[in-house]
Amino acid sequence: MLKIDNLTVKYGQLTAVRDVSFEVEKGEIACIVGPNGAGKSTTLLSISGVLNPSEGDIILNRGKISGLSPEQVANYGVTQVPEGRHIFTSLTVEENLIVGAALRSDKKAISEDIAKVVDLFPILGERSQQQAGKLSGGEQQMLAIGRAIMTNPSIMTIDEPSLGLAPLIIDKVYEALIKLRKESGLTLLIVEQSAERALKAADKIYVLRNGEIKLRGLSSNLKGDDISKAYFGFDER
């Protein structure tokens, strides 16, 4: 469904992502794991059209999306939950969800999707009229994911959903993502610093470090030791 082909992304002289290739199949949960500065966010920002790769292609369902604007990429059904959530803090929970559906006109499906979000995250239903800025960090993360669902995506990218959250809340967020994939068949590409979380949730894992993929495989086949070596670069010291 999504194919990243020899992607290289630079910030001026600095090469943040070098010759990275990977694929995400329809209905799959794929995780990019790696330490700080590995190039994970850069990869996601390139997929969503915010950054322009200097080399390589990003292909969605056989069509090239690299080089398109973020709006065009979004129109192809690629939605992102950015690091730090970026919800509209002065709007209510419900208004944030409605903003997510701003480009849609299918009213019935929009209300069904609101019901789907509330089923996934019941707290958002309870707090629907509350100002989003007053939600806890975990609730804001849920709202950011809910708003992304409201765009009716075919693939969702999520940048560090566990950032700054307590373990119990992270469990809830991941349970919801797994349920979402199971019930809606949504394809997910998640960036995560915690390899342990990634192993639990993902079908497939890519370990990124220093802008390069150091290890790849099905989570069921990967050993924790090999992931640690690739993640921390033990073999190269």
Of the residues 29, 38, 177, 180, which one makes contact with ligand ATP according to CB under 6 A = 38
Pick out residues in 185-204 that bind ligand ATP (CB under 6 A).
193
Contact 156, 187 (CB under 8 A): yes
Q: Which is nearer to ligand ATP, 113 or 192 (CB)?
A: 192
Which residues, 6+ apart, have CB-to-CB distance to 87 below 8 Å?
96, 132, 133, 140, 143, 144, 147
Q: Which two tokens stand for residue 34?
A: 């790696």
Of the residues 4, 20, 41, 141, which one makes contact with ligand ATP according to CB under 6 A = 41
Of the residues 6, 25, 26, 37, which one makes contact with ligand ATP according to CB under 6 A = 37
Q: Is 40 in the site for ligand ATP (CB under 6 A)?
A: yes
Q: Which is nearer to ligand ATP, 83 or 95 (CB)?
A: 83
152 secondary structure, DSSP code: -
d(C-alpha 13, C-alpha 71), whole Å: 27
Helices (H), the chain: 40-47, 70-75, 93-100, 107-120, 122-126, 137-149, 167-184, 195-201, 224-232
Q: Is 147 in the site for ligand ATP (CB under 6 A)?
A: no
Q: How many residues does the chain have?
A: 237
Of the residues 4, 30, 42, 177, which one makes contact with ligand ATP according to CB under 6 A = 42
- Which residues are paired to 213 by β-bridges? 208
Pick out residues in 6-35 that bind ligand ATP (CB under 6 A).
11, 14, 16, 34
Q: Which is nearer to ligand ATP, 164 or 185 (CB)?
A: 164
Note the Cα 215 to chain centre separation in Å.
Answer: 19
Q: Is 209 in the site for ligand ATP (CB under 6 A)?
A: no
Q: Is 39 in the site for ligand ATP (CB under 6 A)?
A: yes
Residue type, 202: A
State the CB neighbour count (10 A cutoff) for residue 15: 18
Q: Which is nearer to ligand ATP, 124 or 170 (CB)?
A: 170
**Shortest gap between Cβ of 113 and ligand ATP (angstroms)?**
29
**Shortest gap between Cβ of 235 and ligand ATP (angstroms)?**
20
Pairing of the two strands 204-209 and 212-218? antiparallel
Q: Is 140 in the site for ligand ATP (CB under 6 A)?
A: no
Binding site for ligand ATP (CB under 6 A): 11, 14, 16, 34, 36-42, 193
